[in-house]
Each structure stands twice: as C-alpha cells, then as structure tokens.
Amino acid sequence: MRALLDTHAFLWWNIGDPQLSDRVREIIADGDNEIWFSAASAWEIALKAGKGRLLLPEQPREYVLKRLALHGFRALAVEVQHALAVHELPAVHSDPFDRLLVAQSRAERLPLLSADPEIARYDVEVIW
C-alpha cells in the first residue's frame, strides 16, 4: 500500500500520540507500505515552529529529516501540477497546507492518512 501522511499524522506517529488511530499506526508500521511525506508538511512544520506554535525537541530541519530517514518515509515534492490542482478543489477547507495535501493525494493517487473531518469532505480517499 502507498499512502500520504497528513502533517498531524506524521507528528503524532513520532511522539507516539494516542490520537493516532490503530489503523493508521498499523499502516505506518508495516514495512511493506510506502509512506509519503509532503514538502507541504515540512513547510507547515517549519512555519509553525518558527512562530512558536509547534514545539519540537530540535530544529525543524533536523527533526523532520532524521525522522524521514528513521522510518523510511519517502519525500513528496510539491510540483507545479499539485499547486495548480488546488484551484480545482471546492472551498471546503481554508487551510492552504491541507488543500495542497488533498491536491497531491488526488494527483498521485495516494490515500491520505488524516483525522481531519474537513479533508474527508473532499473527493479523496482518507484513511483513519
């Protein structure tokens, strides 16, 4: 299976947060699955950490890159087609990061691992 992490799923996985569903925990833990992490999530983490809205045990660069390597997550770049596909989405969600993740999920045909009920309102496969 291939799947794309929502930012909160990445963060919750890395701290062992019980808010992460058992189903998502099993998908991430299964070494046969390809788990993707978007550059949009890296950007979101960097911005929130910079504003003091997200506390990390180290700088965002080290935190994210170490955990991508540790867990074998694959990096998904934001391509021009992804950014432009945001325009095709209905105005369901106002968060630009989540809208970009939805666009990437659709374009790359990756189910999105997300607890966000607003994301589930899009025409995209959400697993939680």
Q: Return d(Cα 8, Cα 14) in angstroms, integer.
A: 10
Are 123 and 106 in contact by the 8 Å Cβ rule? The answer is yes
pLDDT digits (tens, 9 = 90+) for 1-57: 999 999 999 999 999 999 999 999 999 999 999 999 999 999 999 999 999 999 999
Q: What is the CATH number of the domain that holds 102?
A: 3.40.50.1010
Query: Which pLDDT belongs to residue 90?
Result: 87
- DSSP conformation letters of 21-86: -HHHHHHHH-TTSEEEEEHHHHHHHHHHHHTTSS--SS-HHHHHHHHHHHHTPEEE---HHHHHHG
Instruction: Indicate the number of domains in the chain.
Output: 1
Q: Which domain holds residue 55?
A: 2-127
Structure tokens at 30: 């299964």
Are 76 and 109 in contact by the 8 Å Cβ rule? The answer is no
Query: Which pLDDT belongs to residue 93?
Result: 77
Query: Which pLDDT belongs to residue 3?
Result: 98
pLDDT digits (tens, 9 = 90+) for 68-97: 999 999 999 999 999 999 999 988 878 999
Are 40 and 104 in contact by the 8 Å Cβ rule? The answer is yes
Query: Which pLDDT belongs to residue 15?
Result: 96
Query: Which pLDDT belongs to residue 11?
Result: 98
